[in-house]
Amino acid sequence: MHIAFILKGYPRISETFIAQEILALEKRGFKIDIFSLRSPREKFTHQLNKKINADIHYLPEYIYLSPLKIFLSWLKIKKLPGYKASKKEWLNDLKKDFSPNRIRRFAQAIVLSKEIPNTITHLHAHFLHTPTSVAYYASKILQKPYSISAHAKDIWTIKDWEKKKKLEGALWVTTCTEQNFTHLSNISPSTNINLVYHGIDFNLFPIRKILEKNNKYLERESPVIILSVGRLVEKKGFDILLKSLSLLPKELNWKLEHIGNGPLNYKIKKLADKLNLSNKINWNGTLTQDKILNFYKESDIFVLACKVTQSGDRDGIPNVLLEAQSQGLACISTSLPSIEELIINNISGILVKSGSVSELKEAIIELIKNPNKRKNLAAEGQKRVKEKFSMNYGIEKITKLLLR
């Protein structure tokens, strides 16, 4: 079976869950072509991506940069039987959402429809917003079925009319949290929607022995290492984390290692300066998966202060929480419904109220001072990830959906 994967960007450092899915499907015999809506933003990539054999096609990111290519593609595909139906759908959508983005997606669908190999029988879009728009229009032009993997921001920041239309047109849909599943099922009860957790590839993140580090917080030369991995964007709650750290008792010996980058880079670092935390933080920037694995191994506590933004944007189950728990780290996060699917409070981690500086501060103090609790939470978290969040469960489900 030959499948087209439509992605917003490829490769992307922050989307290892997509890369591991593509690689796993290739190992099961599927042939895959990747169609990316934009070129890579990072100058390096994970070793995982280098193992993927799929051909990669980059669609025109902006119409004004590739007008001739789009026009010549249009000349080729406008006579296809499905073109008029697709154009009609697009014009209806344009009336509801008259935007450059809406125009751009139809142009990308035109180029995709012209460049797609004839042997491809199925389109699969990761993310319900822009990639599914392209897949939706191209599916009608080509008269080929499409499916969707819906995740987080893409679900919660687009209007219900658009979600309903895309869901009802899809052959099947997967989503990665129970909250997402319930929300999407309510919008489109007739659609074949499936809960599929991203899961961990234990070949890349082998389960390791949990070590106890007694009284580390008292040793001046050996601080407790707090790790946080995530893009510097609002929903990750790094402002809450920094404010919490600024309130820790002075006698506690800790160091924060942060991995990631993002649009709030300057703002978050400026806040760290304002709170007199800069000498307690290492900003490591974006790193490859193998280097991040070393940080998991060397750290003592993992913290991610996720929150819901005013636009509705939020995390699903952050993959970094799965990774951290697989490596035996005691985790602190927030009691958002999706994260509660992974972490059982005070059993396999600690959950605090989203946005609460005081609760997060107290949780961090507790784990710095109590290495035995760190060890117990880490062991339960590791056990839960191993039993319920293996990547293989999801890949088996997706394989069956593709072959149905």
Query: pLDDT tens digits for 231-269?
Result: 999 999 999 999 999 999 999 999 999 999 999 999 999
Measured distance CA(169)–CA(191) in Å, rounded:
8
Measured distance CA(188)–CA(154) in Å, rounded:
16
pLDDT of amino acid 342:
96
Instruction: Render pLDDT for 298-315 as a digit per residue (tens, 0 to 9).
Output: 999 999 999 999 989 899
In a domain, 176, yes or no: yes
Q: Say yes or no: 38 and 65 in one domain.
A: yes
pLDDT grade for 188, boundaries at 50, 70 and 90? very high
Measured distance CA(157)–CA(251) in Å, rounded:
43
Q: Say yes or no: 189 and 239 in one domain.
A: no
Give the residue with greater pLDDT, 44 vs 157: 157
Find the Cα–Cα–Cα–Cα dihedral 202, 203, 205, 207, rounded to 10°.
60
pLDDT grade for 219, boundaries at 50, 70 and 90? low
In a domain, 54, yes or no: yes
Q: Say yes or no: 186 and 223 in one domain.
A: no
Q: Say yes or no: 99 and 141 in one domain.
A: yes
How many domains are contained in the chain? Answer: 2
pLDDT of amino acid 13:
87
**101 is in which domain, residue-wise?**
2-199+390-403
pLDDT of amino acid 72:
97
On the CB side of 269, CA atoms within 13 Å amount to 14
- Average pLDDT over every residue of 356-366: 98
In a domain, 204, yes or no: no
In a domain, 209, yes or no: no
Q: Say yes or no: 155 and 285 in one domain.
A: no
Q: Say yes or no: 350 and 372 in one domain.
A: yes
- Quick one: how far is CA 223 from the chain centroid? 31
Measured distance CA(90)–CA(311) in Å, rounded:
25
pLDDT grade for 41, boundaries at 50, 70 and 90? confident
For residue 218, is pLDDT > 80?
no
Which residue in 290, 296, 170, 299 sits closest to 224, CA to CA? 299
Q: Say yes or no: 245 and 187 in one domain.
A: no
In a domain, 76, yes or no: yes
SS (HEC) of 187-222: HCCCCCEEECCCCECCCCCCCCCCCCCCCHHHCCCC
Retrieve residue 5's tokens: 């994967």
Q: Where are the alpha helices (DSSP H) in 28-99?
A: 47-50, 67-77, 83-96
Q: How far is CA 304 from CA 26, 286, 297, 354, in A?
A: 32, 16, 17, 10
Ramachandran region of residue 269, left (φ > 0), alpha (ψ -120 to 50) or beta? Answer: alpha
Q: Say yes or no: 293 and 347 in one domain.
A: yes
In a domain, 205, yes or no: no
- Quick one: how far is CA 383 from the chain centroid? 23
In a domain, 118, yes or no: yes
pLDDT of amino acid 220:
57
CA angle 140, 126, 84 (to 5 degrees): 10
For residue 221, is pLDDT > 70?
no
Cβ within 8 Å of residue 186, ≥6 positions away: none
Measured distance CA(21)–CA(394) in Å, rounded:
9
Q: Say yes or no: 180 and 74 in one domain.
A: yes
Instruction: Render pLDDT for 271-282 as a digit per residue (tens, 0 to 9).
Output: 999 999 999 999
pLDDT of amino acid 300:
95
* Tally: H helices and E strands in the chain: 17, 13
pLDDT of amino acid 209:
77
Q: What is the CATH number of the domain that holds 30?
A: 3.40.50.2000
Q: Say yes or no: 42 and 147 in one domain.
A: yes
Tell the burial category of 81 from Cβ atoms under 10 Å away from its Cβ (0-12, 13-18, 19+): exposed
Q: What is the amino acid identity at position 170?
A: A
pLDDT of amino acid 44:
83
